[in-house]
């Protein structure tokens, strides 16, 4: 009767409150165990286990067993991307769960989107990379130019290492709430973790807030100035 991918199934998976809570918890990029996710979602471990196996079957999660623990993380960047999109839609339609605490400003400024940098600083970095011609956007493809390769190598990132990875190096991740793009893919991931290594930034696992140190913010501003 109908044609095309079964979008309803995937959406229904995300559409349950308990599962949605688990997925948002996983947006921090950190792998979590069944018990932790149960706590996040406010359900018992049995229920959580059932939910998680459904999410796994649906291809949204990547499970890893380690001893008697089972760690779950988001399956890939695409999943994170869709989740961010849904957050944008929910926020746009004024369907925020009331909570305009002080953390919101920080979240808008810099936050973790799965495992790369999002928020104002994320889009600033993206725009700056484009403006400096370190990245070029070709249709849907995003390519690192020669100067961009030098730039990130200078920053201390091993590109040949990254390329071993099967996942794409650069990816555009659209932040719907701001209608701006930021950088995902293995390079986006590497940049964020490099910022952490350099002690420029530190991420709060609980809230997805990325807080930059005074020095880190200065260095960042210098590297990714706009205009």
Partner DNA sequence: TTCATAGTTCGACCATAATCGAAGCATCTG
Partner DNA sequence: CAGATGCTTCGATTATGGTCGAACTATGAA
**Alpha carbon separation from 122 to 17, 31, 170, 173 (Å, rounded):** 28, 22, 14, 10
C-alpha dist (Å) from residue 138 to 36, 144, 192: 41, 11, 24
> Per rule CB under 8 A, is residue 131 in the interface with its own copies?
no
Q: How far apart are CA 147 and CA 20, in angstroms?
A: 41
Write out the H or E segment, with its range, that includes residue 124: helix 120-131
Q: Does 198 bind its own copies (CB under 8 A)?
A: no
**Residue 177 C-beta: closest distance to DNA, Å:** 24
Q: Which residues bind DNA (CB under 7 A)?
A: 12, 16-18, 33-35, 43-47, 49-54, 67-70, 165-166
Contact code string over 96-115 relative to its own copies, x by CB under 8 A? xx-x---xx-----------
CA distance 92 to 126: 23
| Cβ closest to its own copies, residue 24 vs residue 213 | 24
- For residue 161, give Cα distances in angstroms to 55, 153, 169: 31, 11, 11
Q: Out of 35, 42, 47, 225, which residue is the one contacting its own copies (CB under 8 A)?
A: 42
Tokens of 31: 């792998």
**157: partner contacted, choices DNA, its own copies, none (Cβ within 5-8 A by kind):** none
Which among 102, 14, 7, 3 is positioned nearest to 55, based on CA atoms? Answer: 14
| Rounded least distance, CB 152 to DNA, Å | 20
Binding partner of residue 54 among its own copies, DNA, none, CB cut-off 5 to 8 Å per kind: DNA
Task: Pick the closer one to its own copies by CB: 104 or 197.
Answer: 104
6 binds, options its own copies, DNA, none, Cβ within 5 to 8 A by partner type: its own copies
The span of 5-13, 137-145, 152-160, 184-192 binding its own copies (CB under 8 A) equals 5-13
Residue 93: CB minimum distance to its own copies, A: 3
Residues 6 or more apart whose CB falls under 8 angstroms from that of 183 comprise 116, 117, 122, 125, 126, 129, 135, 142, 170, 171, 172, 173, 191
- Residues at the site binding its own copies, with contacts judged by CB under 8 A: 1-17, 19-21, 23-24, 42, 58-60, 78-79, 81-83, 85-97, 99, 103-104, 174, 176, 179, 207
């Amino acid at each position: 009767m109908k044609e095309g991918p079964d979008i309803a199934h995937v959406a229904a998976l995300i559409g349950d409150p308990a599962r949605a809570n688990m997925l948002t918890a996983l947006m921090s990029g950190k792998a979590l165990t069944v018990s932790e996710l149960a706590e996040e979602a406010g359900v018992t471990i049995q229920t959580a286990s059932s939910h998680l196996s459904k999410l796994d079957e649906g291809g949204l999660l990547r499970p890893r067993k380690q001893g008697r623990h089972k760690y779950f993380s988001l399956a890939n960047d695409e999943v994170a991307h869709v989740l961010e999109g849904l957050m944008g839609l929910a926020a746009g339609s004024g369907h925020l769960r009331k909570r305009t605490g002080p953390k919101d400003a920080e979240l808008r400024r810099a936050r973790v989107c799965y495992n790369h940098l999002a928020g104002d600083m994320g889009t600033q970095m993206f725009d700056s990379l484009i403006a400096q011609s370190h990245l070029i956007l070709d249709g849907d493809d995003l390519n690192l130019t020669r100067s961009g390769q030098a730039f990130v190598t200078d920053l201390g990132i091993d590109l040949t290492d990254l390329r071993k990875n099967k996942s794409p190096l650069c990816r555009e991740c659209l932040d719907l709430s701001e209608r701006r793009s930021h950088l995902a893919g293995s390079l986006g991931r590497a940049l964020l973790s490099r910022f952490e290594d350099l002690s420029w930034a530190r991420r709060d696992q609980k809230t997805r807030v990325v807080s930059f140190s005074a020095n880190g913010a200065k260095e960042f501003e210098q590297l990714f100035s706009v205009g």
